[in-house]
Structure 1
Amino acid sequence: MTQFELLPEWSPQAAVLLTWPHADTDWQPILSEAELVYAQLARAICQSAKLIVAAPAFLHEHIFTQLDGQGLTVNQFKLYPVNSNDTWARDHGPLSVSDGRSFKIMDFTFNGWGEKYEADLDNQITGTLASQGVFSVPVEASPFVLEGGAIEVDETGALLTTGKCLLNPNRNPTYSRQEIEAVLHKSLGAKKINWLDYGYLAGDDTDSHIDTLARFGPNNALLYVTCDDPTDEHFIELNQMQAQLQTFSNAKGQAYRLFALPWPKAIFNQAGERLPATYANFLIVNKTVLVPTYNDVNDAKALEVIGRAFADFVIIGIDCRVLIKQHGSLHCVTMQLPVGVVDGE
């Protein structure tokens, strides 16, 4: 039987999906700020791939103006009429798997990170895009609850995830750990699963998505967040996470090349709640890495570390202080679509 596998993010990409913020989302109080970040992100994406934008039809002219203002042309992006509850494309978007000759789209169920938020519209986005001809490959819907931000894969087929998320009963309460592993093996082709037991970010409401904590890069690279302040609440657990990562290996039994990312200073919202600022939430777009920055003294160091892990890639910083006001960052609002899955690419 042919085995389909999830590709590492640095595989060749045709496009990146954005689900645009609007007044009926939680972005409403800071909508103009959020749209500016989205427009700047769109411009950066379009230097390396095409852009697909999901948004309500009545917003299309407005979005076109925003993107035109960034110097983008109509052959660089496409707008599709899609209704949404929110904008976190990483988690409601399609996961593309390949058997080496062909692709299919996995459309897992999205339940608002364990039914914390309304997600009925977001859960339909991949299917809606498919019905509008965005994809040139079959789409397989699954009742299994899984967000793209909860998983990382490397080039050997090893998958990295956190037990705090995938084993949380608010996702798939009837599944045992072994049954969850079976889904990851069958649907995503995971050859080995590394379960991370430690690590969290205050203000993160995803139950510790892996893409906020540790990320794979090419040539066996593994980048992860660190905290060097003993007075910070994260200090003990992130050091435990580092120790566990040092024991992990890929599907060939090889240890990873570890790259420690710095820790941005604590950022709080107006209510005094800490926001989940992390440099690990970067997006790989072909030979470019877009990195969230926070107007922090450690921004430059983060860009340097990521540049070493992605030695022949262009590294671009994107100010994401607005995005973390809604408890996510750059990777969370994007979903890559590999070459071979997009119609007319």
Structure 2
Amino acid sequence: MPSMKHFTPADPTPRELGFAMPPEWAPHEATWMGYPADDELWFGHLAGVRDEYVGLVKTIARFERVELLVRDEESERDARARLSGHNVRFHRVPLDDSWLRDSGPLFVVRGDKEKEVALVNWRFNAWGGKFEWENDDRIPEYVAEVLGMAHWDRPEVLEGGGLEIAGGGAALTTRSCFLTDTRNPGLTEEGYTFLLSDMLGVKKLLWLDGGLENDHTDGHIDTITRFAAEDVIVTSVEPDPADPNHAVMSRNLDMLREMRTPDGQPYQIVELPLPANRLEGAEGRLPPTYANFYIGNGFVVVPQYGDPNDKKALDVLRPLFPGREVIGVPSRKIIEGGGSFHCLTQQQPAGRAWRGE
């Protein structure tokens, strides 16, 4: 295994060494994912979830390599049987769950032509201790070892789905998630601004108030509002005043219209419908959303729910991603677990693994 360096909070930060987290649309080396394995966590829907999950993996693998974590012999056997011949590499790793956006590492890059890539290993505690997390908290360390990649080990809890990176220094998050006392008690908005500047190169952190009803992540930004370009934001809207999501989404929309880029310019705000039909799961209302799309090398994959707004969402998103194929893939069973495609994926930017030399 190639040697690599662990950085601690006492060492120079990524920003001090010229690293920053790139936007999702920057070129990828691969996508990291974790194969669904626990029928109880999926409320008895594991078979259907795996069918949809394999459809997602095959779609991504058409465009870039998928690094797939499998937690046991049964999972690996099932995944290999379904994905043989596709651009997928398998890794046997103890897993609690499949949400690599939150449990996986966040990658940072530096350089122009010859990019170097490192990663940040944040703590993961299953959205404030809601589920088991000890195995998933070790995923970034495993990824770093496989890649021989230098990395920073941080004591703070931070989930990738709670932070949306634009490139150019801007990022979006929600107060309902970041400011909970079950993640980083005492860490203020100002504290997050300094932390994310040091660790991810964020120059301007933009705050919305909250997310979707009954979202167990406490309102991750990637379920409601996303950057489509440095100056373009797509955000979920709910037209029905009787729906609990209406007031929160309307308030977010008003706030976004007042926000400015790091250069002081207004954003182009694009409204994205939420699914028309209310979906109920084992624990109440589900949080289906089209904003949980995933951007990769030449594609954008968008969750579909068998809903009247499925096609409308694709029609809204296609003009925002010229040069990329915008693809709708079923996620009706996957949403039973509380998330969708962006939650299940973590991009590894293209470039050479930096070992801290």
What TM-score range do you get, normalising by the shorter chain?
Answer: over 0.9
Aligned twin of 2:65: 50
Residue in structure 2 matching 1:267, options 275, 278, 286: 278
User: What is residue 173 of structure 1 aligned with on the other side?
Assistant: 185
Q: How does 1:208-227 map to 2 (within 5 A)?
A: 208-227=219-238
Q: Aligned partner of 1:50: which letter? A: R
CA distance in structure 2 between the aligned counterparts of 1:265 and 1:43, rounded to whole angstroms: 28
1:161 aligns with 2:173: yes
Taking a change above 3 Å as real, the CA distance of residues 341 and 80 of structure 1, as seen in their structure-2 partners, is: farther
Rounded Cα–Cα distance in structure 1 between residues aligned with 2:187 and 2:250: 30
Moved more, 213-222 or 323-332: 213-222
Aligned pairs, number: 335
Whether 1:107 aligns to 2:121 is yes
Q: Which amino acid aligns with 2:247?
A: I
Residue in structure 2 matching 1:66, options 78, 82, 99: 82
1:279 maps to 290
What is the match of residue 31 of structure 1? 46
SS in 1 for 2:89: strand
- 2:31 aligned counterpart, secondary structure: strand
Q: 1:93-113: per-residue Cα shift (whole Å, max 9, x none)?
A: 111111224221111100110
Closer, same or farther in 2 for the Cα pair 1:272/1:52, shift >3 Å?
closer
Matched AA of 2:172: L
Q: CA deviation at 1:236?
A: 1.7
Superposed CA deviations along residues 153-174 of structure 1, whole A, max 9, x for unmatched, are 1121101111111111111003
Alignment of structure 1 residues 81-96 onto 2, 5 Å: 81-96=92-107
1:29-61 residue CA offsets vs partner (Å, 9 max, x unmatched): 111111111111111001111000111241322
Q: Structure 1 residue 304 and structure 2 residue 315: aligned?
A: yes
- The 1:123/1:86 distance shift into structure 2, 3 A limit, reads same
Tell me if structure 1 keeps the 8 A contact 2:63–2:298. yes
Distance 2:194 2:233 in 1: 24
**Shift in Å at residue 24 of structure 1?**
6.6
% same residue: 34
Query: How far apart are residue 338 of structure 1 and its match?
Result: 0.9
Structure 1 match to 2:151: 139
SS of corresponding position for 2:262: coil
CA displacement at 1:268 relative to structure 2: 2.9
- Measured in 2, the distance between the counterparts of 1:196 and 1:84 equals 32
Please, which runs of 5 or more residues in structure 1 have no aligned partner? none
Deviation at 1:254, TM superposition (A): 1.7
CA distance in structure 2 between the partners assigned to 1:116 and 1:4 by the alignment: 32
**Cα distance in 2 for residues equivalent to 1:32 and 1:226:** 32
**Unaligned ranges ≥5, structure 2:** 1-15
SS in 2 for 1:215: strand
Deviation string for 1:141-192 (max 9, x for gaps)?
Answer: 2111000000011121101111111111111003232222111110010011
Give the conservation status (yes or no) of the 8 Å contact 1:292–1:318.
yes
CA positional deviation for 1:27: 2.5
